[in-house]
Structure 1
Amino acid sequence: MRHLKAGSKLGKQPAHRRAVLRNLVTNVIERERITTTRARAKAARPLLERMITLGKRDDLHARRQAASFLLTPQATQKLFRDIAPRFSDRNGGYTRIIRAGWRIGDGAELAILELLGSKLKKKEKKEKKGAKPEEKPEEKKES
């Protein structure tokens, strides 16, 4: 029985698992959206939510706790300056996980982990190289 077994091991040793999750959380804070496997996204989500809650507290102890977990000082600054004020009126639920298909190489299920309300622009679809542009039919001039 798998009762009361919280969290996923992600097929890694404890130190490696912690390093992977710290990297994921730091990258989401810096970029506001990342693509990763669904299992990793689900494992990183509670840690990311906790970091944002620390950012909302905005005291010295919270800053030190966040700085000890996040890998770059820039991520800590962005968390406290930009991200935490955005969620000041929201109690939890700062992130979303969107399924993004399967990876071609190994078939792993991918997901997008992003912050709500991110101001990132959607990428415009490029035209296919082999596709011909739509041509307007030319009218024949009759004299």
Structure 2
Amino acid sequence: MLDDTDRRILRQYQATPEAPAAELAERCGVTATTLARRLDRMRNTGVLRGVRGMIHWPALGYTVEVSLRITLDKSRPQAFEEFAEAARQVPEVIEIQTFLGQVDARLSVIARDMAHYQQVYRGQILTLPHITDIDALMHVARLKTDESLPL
């Protein structure tokens, strides 16, 4: 279970994971040794899953984002698994989510422009297995992006 010190460490860590350990320890009110021990414990228990670099893909020329809502043929026992495995192989698919309900999956797809999107859609998305219906939502604006937890 996490205590107040763990939560304080997590708040500071998720705000600036690139901060030097000594600075982070000072902001958390603990020693560098305590900070290291607690971060190691949280990594080992799966609370911390890693540190990653976030790339702003529009800066690399990807100007189109489309959310595809997918309905699958649920009469096939392995439909979800086979669909997800094939979708993972499409480099422009940056996120795959599955759901219970009318929509079975959602893919976030990025492309350099509409011509590139059409190429990806026709050549790779439409060939994914077990799809019975696709609904496309063109991304207009991202109003909030925050993976930080309210600790």
TM over 0.5, yes or no?
no
Bigger strand share: 2
With normalisation by structure 1, the TM-score equals: 0.23
TM-score with structure 2 setting the length: 0.22
| Greater helix proportion | 1
Flag the structure with larger Rg. Answer: 1
